[in-house]
Amino acid sequence: MMYKIKYLIFLMILFSCSSEPKSGWDKYLFSDDIISAEEFIDQDLLSTHITTLSSDDFQGRKPATLGGKKTVKYLIDSFQEIGLEPGNPNGSWTQDVKMLGVKSNLRSQFITDDERWVLRTGDDIIGNSYIKKQNVNLERVGVIFCGYGVTAPEYKWDDYKGVDVKGKVVIILVNDPPIMIDDEYDNDMFKGKAMTYYGRWSYKYEEALRRGAAGAIVIHESGPAGYPFSVLQAGHDSESLTIEASKSLKFQGWLPLSSAQKLFSMSGLDFSSMKKEALSPDFQPKNMDIKFTSRIANTYRYVNSKNVIAKYEGVDSLLKDEYIIYTAHWDHLGMDKKLKDDKVYNGANDNALGTAMVLAAAKSFSQLKTGTKRSILFLAVTAEEDGLLGAKYYSMNPLYPLEKTLAVINIDAMGNTFGKTKDLIIIGKGNSNLDNIVESAAKQDKKYVIPDAEPEKGFYYRSDHFAFAKMGVPSLYVDGGFDVRGKGKDFGRSMKDIYTKNHYHSLSDEVHSDWVYDGIIEDNGILLRVGYAIAQHNEWPSWNENTEFKSLRDAMLRN
C-alpha cells in the first residue's frame, strides 16, 4: 500500500514536471531568451535613470526649456549607449513636435429678440479658439442643442440625426448618455458606469468639428464631469498648447450649469426636460431660439519640442517592417520661479519612472541573443502634461505606418514604489485582447490582473497610449497594483492615496528614501515579456467587439 502511494506520488511529480510545450502567447512569454534578457532590468539601472531625470538639474523637464533640452539629450545618450538605432527613418533620434500656443480673450453674448446676455468670461462661460488668427469672430450664429453630441454606430446612437449644424454653435451635455434600467446602468450601452471616449469633452468637440459646426460648448455638471467647474476656471485664461490642425472649431468652450439653465430658459426651453429627452435614442437636435456672438482676441506663438525615438530592428525579413511601440512621456511641469525654496516639479513618479522603465526595456531587448521578428520602437514623448501632445503629434505624423503598428504599450506614473504586489491593474480592461497577454505574463509572476477601480473617471483617455487608440492602434495602459505582498491591500491603497493627495503634480513628486524597487522591476519585466510576445507571435492584438476604436482599426487594416 505504502509502496503504491509512493509510486503514485512519483508519477504525479513526473507528470507535473514534464511541462507540455507552451502554445499561443505563452510560447513567447516563457522564451528563455527574453527571460534571461529580463535580468538586465535591475534597481541600479532604474534608480540611476529616475534619480537623474528627476533631479533639480533637469528643472522639471518642461518642453521648450533648458530642462527639456537636457532631458532630450540624456535620452538620446542613453539609447545610443544601449546600442539601438536612431528611430527616425531620416537617421535622427528625434521627431520635431511643433505646437501652437494660444491665449484667447473672449467677449461673448447670447441674444434673443428681446434680451441680450453679456457673459462674464471665467464665471458664465470659458472657452478659446485654436484658429491661428488674432481676431476670430462669431456673429449672431445659430445655436442648436445636440444632446450628448454622440455618434456611436456600435450602440446605434446618433445625437445629430443628420441635422445640419454647419456654421452653428452646438450645445452638448457632458459625459456618456447615462442609460439606466431600473436605476442600474445598462451595461450594454456605453459600457454602463464606465466612461467611453464618447463621454470626453475632446470627443464632443471633434465630432462637432466633423459635422462642420462653428463652435461647440459643453455644459459642465460636477457629478457627471467628475470634477467641479473651478477646475476648468483655474488657468482658463492662460496659454494653452495644441497640435495645429488643418481645421479647428472657431470656438470651443464650457458653460457652468447655472449658465446652461439661463440659456435654455432665455430660449423658451426647460433644461431638465431637454436633458431627459436626450436620453432617448430617438432624441432630435433642437434649434434654440437664440443667437451666440463671441469676439475672440488671440495671441499665439509656436512652441517647439521633441519626441525621442530609438529602434530595435527585427530580424525577420518580412516582419521587421511591423512595429511594437513602448512609450512614456519624458516631460513634466517644469519650475515655478516665484517659489522661495523648492522650485522644481521633479516628476519622479510622473514620469521619470515610466521613462526609466522604457529605457530598461530597451536595454533588455538589446541583450536578446536571437532578436525579435518584428521591430520595437522606444518612443519617449513630449508634452503629455499639456494634453498628450507629443503622442498626438506622432499619431498624426507617424514615422512608421500605424497599420503596421501592432500595439502600443504606455508607461505613465505606475507608482509601485512600495514593493511587489499580487495584482496588476489594467486601465481600460476589456478593450482589447492585450488584456489576455498581460494576464498570462502576470500569471508567470503569480500575479492577478484587475480593472481600474474608477472606470467612470475615464483614465484610459488621459495618457499617451490614447492618442494611438484614437487612431485605432490597440493600446495598453497598466498601473501598479496595491495588493502588496506581505502587507496587504490596505497598505498598498494607503500608499497610493498618499501619492495622489500629497505628491501628484506637486513639488514633492521626488524619489523618496523609502522607495522599494522590486515591484517596479517585476512589472517592468511583465511589460517586457508582453512586448516580446507580440513581436514574435503570428496573431495580431485586436480590439474587442463594441469598443469605440474597433471600427477604426478594421478600416485601417482593410485599406
Binding mask 135-174 for Zn ion (x = CB under 5 A): ----------------------------------------
* Between 36 and 502, CB nearer to Zn ion: 502
Q: Name the minimum Å distance from CB 462 to Zn ion.
A: 9
322 binds Zn ion (CB under 5 A): no
* Between 71 and 536, CB nearer to Zn ion: 71
* Between 138 and 353, CB nearer to Zn ion: 353
How many residues contact Zn ion, by CB under 5 A?
1
Stretch that binds Zn ion, among 189-197, 343-351, 396-404, 486-494 (CB under 5 A): 343-351
Q: Residue with the closest Cβ to Zn ion?
A: 350
Q: Name the minimum Å distance from CB 27 to Zn ion.
A: 37
* Between 350 and 523, CB nearer to Zn ion: 350
Stretch that binds Zn ion, among 171-179, 237-245, 344-352, 542-550 (CB under 5 A): 344-352
Q: Cα separation of 314 and 520, whole Å?
A: 27
Q: Cα separation of 321 and 316, whole Å?
A: 9
Cα distances (angstroms) measured from residue 493 to each of 98, 361, 421, 488, 527: 39, 27, 11, 9, 22
Q: Name the minimum Å distance from CB 44 to Zn ion.
A: 26
Q: Cα separation of 499 and 497, whole Å?
A: 5
* Between 385 and 439, CB nearer to Zn ion: 385
Which secondary-structure segment (H or E) carries 94? Answer: strand 94-111
Q: Is the Cβ–Cβ distance between 478 and 439 less than 8 Å?
A: no
Q: Name the minimum Å distance from CB 501 to Zn ion.
A: 15
Q: Name the minimum Å distance from CB 385 to Zn ion.
A: 5
Stretch that binds Zn ion, among 126-134, 350-358, 428-436, 533-541 (CB under 5 A): 350-358
Q: Is the Cβ–Cβ distance between 185 and 140 less than 8 Å?
A: no
* Between 350 and 483, CB nearer to Zn ion: 350
Residues within window 391-430 making contact with Zn ion, judged by CB under 5 A: none
* Between 53 and 288, CB nearer to Zn ion: 53
331 binds Zn ion (CB under 5 A): no
Stretch that binds Zn ion, among 84-92, 113-121, 236-244, 349-357 (CB under 5 A): 349-357
Residues within window 190-209 making contact with Zn ion, judged by CB under 5 A: none
285 three-class SS: coil
Binding mask 237-276 for Zn ion (x = CB under 5 A): ----------------------------------------
Q: Name the minimum Å distance from CB 350 to Zn ion.
A: 4
Query: What is the total residue count of the chain?
Result: 559
Q: Kindly provide the residue ranges of all beta strands, DSSP E only, lying in 148-285, ordered along the sequence.
A: 151-152, 157-158, 169-173, 180-181, 184-185, 215-220, 240-243, 251-256
Stretch that binds Zn ion, among 144-152, 195-203, 346-354, 438-446 (CB under 5 A): 346-354
Residue where the block lists cell 463621454: 199
* Backbone conformation region of residue 334, classed left if phi is above 0, alpha if psi is from -120 to 50, else beta: left
Q: Name the minimum Å distance from CB 512 to Zn ion.
A: 17
Q: Concatenate the DSSP letters of all residues of 197-214 into one string.
A: GGGSHHHHHHHHHHTT-S
Stretch that binds Zn ion, among 39-47, 347-355, 449-457, 544-552 (CB under 5 A): 347-355
* Between 350 and 548, CB nearer to Zn ion: 350
* Between 97 and 533, CB nearer to Zn ion: 97
* Between 176 and 384, CB nearer to Zn ion: 384
Q: Name the minimum Å distance from CB 231 to Zn ion.
A: 15
- For residue 104, what are the β-bridge partners? 298
* Between 279 and 511, CB nearer to Zn ion: 511
Q: Name the minimum Å distance from CB 505 to Zn ion.
A: 6
Cα distances (angstroms) measured from residue 310 to each of 47, 291, 363, 395: 21, 52, 11, 16
Cα distances (angstroms) measured from residue 519 to each of 20, 237, 482, 504: 30, 41, 10, 19
* Between 99 and 208, CB nearer to Zn ion: 99
Q: Is the Cβ–Cβ distance between 288 and 164 less than 8 Å?
A: no
Q: Is the Cβ–Cβ distance between 255 and 220 less than 8 Å?
A: yes
Cα distances (angstroms) measured from residue 183 to each of 265, 271, 453: 28, 21, 21
For the stretch 79-111, what's the b/e string if a residue is b when 16 or more beta carbons lie within 10 angstroms of its beta carbon? beebebebbbeeeebbbebebbbbebebebebb
350 binds Zn ion (CB under 5 A): yes
Sign of CA dihedral 274, 278, 280, 283: positive
* Between 159 and 464, CB nearer to Zn ion: 464
Cα distances (angstroms) measured from residue 452 to each of 223, 425, 460, 464: 19, 6, 9, 17
Q: Name the minimum Å distance from CB 464 to Zn ion.
A: 11
Tell me the residue type at 189: M
Q: Is the Cβ–Cβ distance between 386 and 333 less than 8 Å?
A: no
Q: Name the minimum Å distance from CB 352 to Zn ion.
A: 11
Q: Name the minimum Å distance from CB 304 to Zn ion.
A: 21
Stretch that binds Zn ion, among 132-140, 199-207, 345-353, 538-546 (CB under 5 A): 345-353
Q: Name the minimum Å distance from CB 396 to Zn ion.
A: 22
Which secondary-structure segment (H or E) carries 139? Answer: strand 135-145
Residues that bind Zn ion (CB under 5 A): 350
